[in-house]
Structure 1
Amino acid sequence: MSGLRKVAAPFMVPGPSGVAIRTRLGHLSAADEKTLRLIGDHLGSLASRDLKTRCAAGLEHDADAWAERKRALTWESSSRWAGSITKATHDQWALARRGQLAHIQSLEAGISTIEHRLSVPVGEKGTKQGPGGYRSRQEWFAKSRRLHVLEDRLQQVRAAREAGRVCVARGGKRLLNTRHHLEQTGLAEEQWRARWEAGRRFLAADGESGKRYGNETIRVTDDGEVSIKLPAPLAHLANAPHGRYVLTARVSFAHRGEQWADRVTANRAVAYRIHEDTMRGRWYLTASWTIPPVQTVLLAAARDGGLIGFDTNADHLAAWRLDERGNPTGNPRRFFYDLSGTAQHRDAQVRHALIRLLRWAEHHHLAIALEDLDFQAEKTREKHGRRKKFRNLISGMPTARLRARLVSMAAELGIPVIAVDPAYTSRWGAQHWQKPLTGKNRKTTRHDAAAVAIGRRALGHPIRRRTAPPPHDQSDRAGHRTVQARPGTPGREGNRPRIPGPRTRSVPPGRGANAVDQNAQHRPGRSAEHESWRQDSLPLCL
């Protein structure tokens, strides 16, 4: 047991802190689309220049430098546009810093794994505590060269982080690299150029409470009219007073439309973003705002009445309902999804599987337990080596997106979510629950057993089942029970129930009354062993 890592305690997952809804800007005129592109291109160039300035400042950036950047942008746009641009720049720079730290941690993990495997003799098998050696001398030599490459790369990334340098590509690094592989992607240069320009445009404005409809820069009225405050160089394009441009399209939000209407009529802050989908030839408007933290129920209250534990897999969610004592009830349920195809298709598949799971939990008024998974350190090339299919399998599992969507959707339905440590749930679930739950009419999979293990850990029970007593005796041949009653369990010293049937092991009648009295039994550590000894008097017949 010393080689097992410590299992963290389960905890309640907090609810979402913000809301984002999207609708289509339909029936735009050619003048509207042209104006939106001109505004986005102009503000996008300002955002690119501001990002360059922020990256050059590095760690020496302060509030004075921020104010100077904002003043420089205000002359070419407006004070509110400048504030939105500088805030987006800071968020992008901070995201790049977090990605840089994650890259360093990944390099350190890969170097540590290679060093360990190089120190092990070639061909030696691995253990549960660590991987074994490499298969051949050729692979050992190749990995020794790769170790030097990773060490040099780690040194460069560390130096860049200490100096505050980050690498950021507005529009996306993946789309930038696609420019060099147009034949493989099937895109023409004009198509790629349109996507690149659309990705680098900037048409986003933060909300401000107290202003008309919650946003002075991109204003959307309660009846769906969209107007934009034009930057100073484009003021001649205005078709409304005060330098504003009003779109011909009217918008309405099908999802959370009432909540959005309540906010804009009360002049509460709402942030907007306009972007173009060049693949579909459509324009979209996204509205977002912050919400107060959802009141999370206590862990004991969420456990009351049992819960539903589910295990996340590559193609389905395996779920099982457990009562408050940790016993599986009913049959397991599986919610399948297909993660092939486009990103929109994968996202829809995950959403449909989650809504079926949540409807089941809502029907029985139960909480949901899931694993606190993080595969960032589990899908590295050095850890799994040649197991490319397994690495692709782990990389394809949408753990972060699934958890974010589950928490958001569960908060709307008022369903508590409990997160548990994922350590050994699959292994111990298959060891202790797969075979006992398999019968003639039900085949329990390893994933179903893992769902039971997750649910039991969320309820505070050990994953291991309480086994039957040994068939022979308690210590000579079969050994003790694997799980005994805890010291504080009421009635653990009480009389055992009388089992009907023929008596065995030559137990004389009447011994059941003294079964609890440990002092009446001749066992080590009991007072029957340490009573004062007194010799009986000799019989008179001698």
Structure 2
Amino acid sequence: MASGGGDGVGELRGIAAPFVAPGPSGVAVRTRLRQLTPGDEKVLRLVGAHLGSLASKDLKARCRDGLEHCGQAWAVRKRELTALSSSRWAGSITKASHDQWALARRGQLAHIHNLEAGIRTIEDRLSLPVGRKGTGKAPGGYRSRREWHAKSRRLRVLQDRLAAARADREAGIVHVVRGGRRLARTRHHLDAAQLTESAWRGRWEAERWFCQADGESGKRHGNETIRVSPEGEVSIKLPVPLAHLANAPQGRYVLASRVVFAHRGTEWADRVAAHRAIAYRIHLDTGRDRWYLTASWQLPPTPTLPSEAALAHGVIGVDMNAGHLAAWHLDPHGNPTGSPRRFFYDLTGTAQHRDAQIRHALTRLMHWAHTCDVRAIAVEDLDLAAEKTREKHGRRTRFRQLISGMPTGKLRARLASMADATGIAVIAVDPAYTSRWGAQHWQKPLTTTTRKTIRHDAAAVAIGRRAQQHPIRRRTTPPPAHRSDAVGHRTVQAGPSVPGREEPRPRIPGPRTRSVGAGRGANAGNQNAQHRPGRSAEHETWQQDSLPLSL
């Protein structure tokens, strides 16, 4: 399945202009805390559990305030937490609570939009006669009275849910589960999750721990709470109730582990040496029984490269699909060069495995871009949230699962980050009709006896041409040499600086056919440069006038 959104038939919608996607605003690197002593693990567990209980109480207070929250209430909460931890720990906890509340509000709004879309779809289908066929633009009526009755009941359920969600939003009520709602529900299905009660309890407690601290510019090594020296020494400022566990001056505890950041280690070391802000988080992976340290910091805004400069050496159009990336290299004039490439990835297994598969596919894509000396990659600006609804696709369960499995958000984030680090610009284009027009205009012409071009490859060409702001339509190849001119007629795409590129082809001396002179045909001056489907220049064949009977 090609991912070109809006490929349905019917009235064509407007197409947004392509734009250069901004780079990442921050970076996070992770390393393992090795060779921890039993005393180190005990201290980390006590600190995480103590701060986690404070974070739970603070999040409850933040949710209770709702829309009435203000700076004064924030200061009161922070002052109460300071007596039980420290001023910096309290600041990190209150900031995390505020961010989690804001994230829940955004999720609540997305849930309301999803319910509204489902209700609209059901109401439209219920208004149609039972058994009416659908079109490519809209679904038809339900297939039986039984299904119509079931959907009418579901409509009432969705309307009740929508009313409750709207009431919660107006009142500022959000529903948040520290540790994750999915893990909380797993408690009732331990056999299906292949977990014992004690194993689930350990995972649940570890997810609810809190051991993260925001950085401060100008402070020693960029963080006063969780400090990592240039030599890799990790120390933690203990909360007030646990100060008796300190093994270093000023109530600090130094871990026996020494850390090294393999990825972006030089950048991290430069920030530590300059005492620039770095945020740290310590967490336990209960599945592997390993402790990890994550360092994160903000990046200065990267100047956006003008699209003209990014496209000076051509572009690589990329069509994202459920199991692979289809890519094709286009020259500056929009002509496909070489052969298409496909970068496969496996989306089964754990989240870490899927993320690694995406990174590996994007890494190979970046290497190929450098091999082609290309400084721009064109992708579709996809948002499949509305395409995943149960009401839109009905019984097409496998199709819904296929769309839901496409990691559009994660791929966009990974691609923007990796491309920014390698000096490649990412150009986002409107996904409308890319699959349909690509297959219509490019799939057959690019198929040879030694290469079979699939629909995804043709969509990649359409995406690349749209990024270059060329029409997707491919100009028709002239007739064979024995019926018309063999040279002098442009095909595919001419550069913008070529004189007369949009004019009729030049007149060639001598007869073109046995009946019509060169440059005198009925359609000699009609190049029909529009790129919408259904145009005469795209579909009509070359015809000859019949010989006059008088000859």
TM-score normalized by the length of structure 2: 0.88
1 CA distance for matches of 2:405 and 2:32? 29
Task: Tell me, in whole angstroms, the C-alpha distance in 2 between the residues paired with 1:364 and 1:326.
Answer: 15
User: 1: CA distance between counterparts of 2:201 and 2:149?
Assistant: 44
Is 1:334 the counterpart of 2:342? The answer is: yes
Q: Structure 1 residues 87 and 102 mapped into 2: Cα distance closer, same or farther (>3 Å)?
A: same
Q: Secondary structure at the match of 1:144?
A: helix
Secondary structure of the equivalent of 1:180? coil
Aligned to 1:536: none
In the TM superposition, residue 251 of structure 1 has moved relative to its aligned partner by: 0.7
CA displacement 1:291-333 (0-9 Å, x = unmatched): 1011221011112121000111111110001111211111111
Cα gap change, 1:484 to 1:128, in 2 (>3 Å):
farther
Cα pair distance change 1:484/1:470, threshold 3 Å: farther
Alignment-mate amino acid for residue 385 of structure 1: G
- SS in structure 2 opposite 1:356? helix
Aligned partners of 2:513, 2:202: CA distance in 1, in Å?
A: 88
The equivalent residue for 2:364 is: 356
Contact 1:362 1:413 (C-alpha < 8 Å) held by counterparts: no
Which one of 489, 495, 506 corresponds to residue 496 of structure 1? Answer: 506
2:238 is the alignment partner of 1:230: yes
Task: Answer with 337-346 or 20-29: which moved more.
Answer: 337-346
Alpha-carbon distance in 2 for matches of 1:348, 1:510? 59
2:483 aligns with none
Structure 1 consecutive aligned stretches of length 4 or more whose deviation exceeds 3 Å: 468-471, 487-490, 492-495, 499-503, 509-512
Q: 1:438: how far off?
A: 1.2
In structure 2, how many angstroms separate the alpha carbons of the residues matched to 1:143 and 1:470?
56
Matched-pair contact (CA < 8 Å) for 2:214–2:279: yes
Partners of 2:19 and 2:253 lie apart in 1 by 50
What secondary structure is seen at the aligned counterpart in 2 of 1:285? Answer: strand
Q: Give the counterpart letter for 1:110 in structure 2.
A: G
Q: Which moved more, 1:59-68 or 1:324-333?
A: 324-333
Equivalence for 2:462: 453
Structure 1 residue 183 corresponds to structure 2 residue 186: no
Contact 1:120/1:132, CA 8 A, preserved across alignment:
yes
CA-based RMSD: 2.3
Matched, 1:411 2:443: no
Whole-Å separation in 2 of the counterparts to 1:141 and 1:152: 17
Distance 1:495 1:209, change over 3 A: closer
Deviation at 1:245, TM superposition (A): 0.6
- Residue 109 in structure 1 maps to residue 114 in structure 2: no
CA contact (8 A) 1:323 1:329 kept: yes
What's the CA shift for 1:504?
A: 2.8
CA shift, 1:506, in A, is 4.6
Of 459, 463, 475, which aligns to 1:466? 475
Checking the alignment, whether the CA contact within 8 Å between 1:426 and 1:449 is kept in structure 2 is yes
Match of 2:515 in 1: 505
Counterpart secondary structure, 1:400:
helix
Whether the 8 Å CA contact 1:318–1:447 is kept in 2: the answer is yes
SS of alignment partner, residue 335 of structure 1: strand
Tell me the equivalent position of 2:52. 44
Per mean C-alpha deviation after superposition, the further-off stretch among 279-288 and 294-303 is 294-303
Return the letter of the residue paired with 2:94: T
- 1:470 and 1:32, CA in 2 relative to 1: closer, same or farther beyond 3 A? same
Q: Quote how far apart the aligned CAs of 1:6 are.
A: 1.3
CA deviation map 1:75-109 (0-9, x unaligned)? 10000000000000011000000000000000000
Shift of 1:353: 0.7
CA contact 2:311–2:332 (8 Å) conserved in 1: yes
Residue 478 (structure 1) aligns with: none
Is 1:158 the counterpart of 2:158? The answer is no
Which residue of 2 is the match for residue 530 of structure 1? none
| CA 5–511 in structure 1, closer or farther in 2 if over 3 Å, else same | closer
Question: What's the offset of the Cα at 1:231?
Answer: 0.5
* Pairing partner for 1:130 from 120, 130, 138: 138
Which residue number in structure 1 is paired with residue 216 of structure 2?
A: 208
Per the alignment, in what secondary structure is the counterpart of residue 272 of structure 2?
Answer: helix
**Shift of residue 424 of structure 1?**
1.1
- Identity, % of aligned pairs? 70
The more displaced of 420-429 and 207-216 is 420-429
Q: Are 2:95 and 1:90 aligned?
A: no
| Greater RCO structure (CA 8 Å; 6+ sep) | 2
Distance verdict in 2 for CA 1:446–1:245, change over 3 Å:
same
In 2 relative to 1, CA 411–65 (structure 1 residues): closer, same or farther, beyond 3 Å?
Answer: same
2:301 is matched with 293
* Residues 174-197 of structure 1 deviation map (CA, whole Å, 9 limit, x = unaligned): 000000000111000111011000
SS for the counterpart of 2:116 is helix
Paired residues for 1:272-287 under 5 Å: 272-287=280-295
Judged with a 3 Å threshold, the aligned counterparts in structure 2 of structure 1 residues 270 and 511 are, in CA distance, closer, same or farther, namely closer
Deviation at 1:435, TM superposition (A): 1.3
1:430 touches 1:449 (CA, 8 Å); kept in 2?
Answer: yes
Return the alpha-carbon distance in structure 2 between the equivalents of residues 499 and 302 of structure 1. 42
Distance 2:349 2:313 in 1: 40
Indicate how the Cα distance of structure 1 residues 64 and 442 shifts in structure 2: closer, same or farther if over 3 A, else same.
same
Is 1:230–1:243's contact at 8 Å kept on the other side of the alignment? Answer: yes
CA contact (8 A) 1:311 1:370 kept: yes
SS in 2 for 1:275: strand
Aligned position for 2:435: 426
Q: Which letter maps to 1:76?
A: L
Structure-2 change in CA distance of 1:151 and 1:55 (3 Å): same
Q: Structure 1's 489 and 266: CA in aligned 2 closer, same or farther, altered over 3 A?
A: closer
1:443 paired residue number: 452
1:432 Cα deviation after fit: 1.3
Does the CA contact (< 8 Å) of 1:316 and 1:337 recur in 2? yes
The residue aligned with 2:3 is none
Shift of 1:496: 1.4
Q: Is the 8 A contact 1:178 1:185 kept in 2?
A: yes
Q: 1:359 to 1:501 in 2, by over 3 A?
A: farther
Match of 1:387 in 2: 396
Q: CA-to-partner distance for each residue in 1:426-445, whole Å, 9 max, x for gaps?
A: 11111111111112111111
In structure 1, runs of 5+ residues without a counterpart are 472-482, 517-542
List runs of 5+ in structure 2 lacking aligned partners: 1-8, 481-491, 526-551
Aligned in 2, Cα 1:206/1:328: closer, same or farther, shift over 3 Å?
Answer: same
Write the distance in 1 (CA, Å) between the matches of 2:503 and 2:440.
30
Give the residue type in structure 2 aligned to 1:406.
L
User: What is the match of residue 534 of structure 2?
Assistant: none
Please tell me the residue identity of whatever aligns with 1:122.
Answer: V
Residues of 2 paired with 1:125 and 1:470: CA distance?
42
Aligned-partner residue type, residue 505 of structure 1: S
Q: 1:488: how far off? A: 12
Between the aligned partners of 1:67 and 1:249, the Cα distance in structure 2 is: 36
Bigger Rg, which one: 1
